[in-house]
């Protein structure tokens, strides 16, 4: 099925560990982005990309790195996990003409202990 695929669905990390959250889309969308969802804070933009090789920071980028080597994939890297990064992470994608809205993945629930 076409859409945005995120892996893993759940992850527990120890403080200081690193990991990569994977995101892939098969709709040939130019735009891809990462959001985190926290109680009382809503969804906030971490990083986004308007095309392969181009990334930029969102509202809450600290502690996260991204790269976009292909149109399909947009991984999010946590270099040294902190308890403040406990959250639900969503990847989203859309066409650059902004006529069809965003499609979201099913999310990754991350706990940092």
Partner 1 sequence: KQEVTQIPAALSVPEGENLVLNCSFTDSAIYNLQWFRQDPGKGLTSLLLIQSSQREQTSGRLNASLDKSSGRSTLYIAASQPGDSATYLCAVEVQGAQKLVFGQGTRLTINP
**Residue 45 in the binding site for partner 1 (CB under 8 A):** yes
Give 17 or 37: the residue with its C-beta nearer to partner 1.
37
Q: Which is nearer to partner 1, 17 or 75 (CB)?
A: 75
Q: Is 104 in the site for partner 1 (CB under 8 A)?
A: yes
Sign of the alpha-carbon torsion through 5, 98, 54, 79? negative
Tell me the C-alpha distance between 42 and 38, whole Å.
6
Query: Which residues in 74-101 are b (16+ Cβ under 10 Å) and which e?
Result: bbbebeebeeebbbebbbbbbeeeeeee
| Interface with partner 1 (CB under 8 A), residue from 29, 31, 64, 112 | 31
Strands 108-112 and 10-13: parallel
Length of the chain: 113
Cα 39 to Cα 112: distance, rounded to the nearest angstrom: 16
Contact status: 89 vs partner 1 (CB under 8 A) = no
Between 16 and 53, CB nearer to partner 1: 53
Q: Which is nearer to partner 1, 2 or 101 (CB)?
A: 101
Smallest gap from Cβ 80 to partner 1, in A, equals: 26
Minimum Å gap between C-beta 90 and partner 1 is 6
């Amino acid at each position: 099925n076409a859409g945005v695929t995120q892996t893993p669905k759940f992850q527990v990390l120890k403080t200081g560990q690193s990991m990569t959250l994977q995101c892939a889309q098969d709709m040939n969308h130019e735009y891809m982005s990462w959001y985190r969802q926290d109680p009382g804070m809503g969804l906030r933009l971490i990083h986004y990309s308007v095309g392969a090789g181009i990334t930029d920071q969102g509202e809450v980028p600290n502690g996260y790195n991204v790269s976009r080597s292909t149109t399909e994939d947009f991984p999010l890297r946590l270099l040294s996990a902190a308890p403040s990064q406990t959250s639900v992470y969503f990847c989203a994608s859309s066409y650059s003409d902004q006529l069809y809205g965003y499609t979201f993945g099913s999310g990754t629930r991350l706990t940092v202990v």
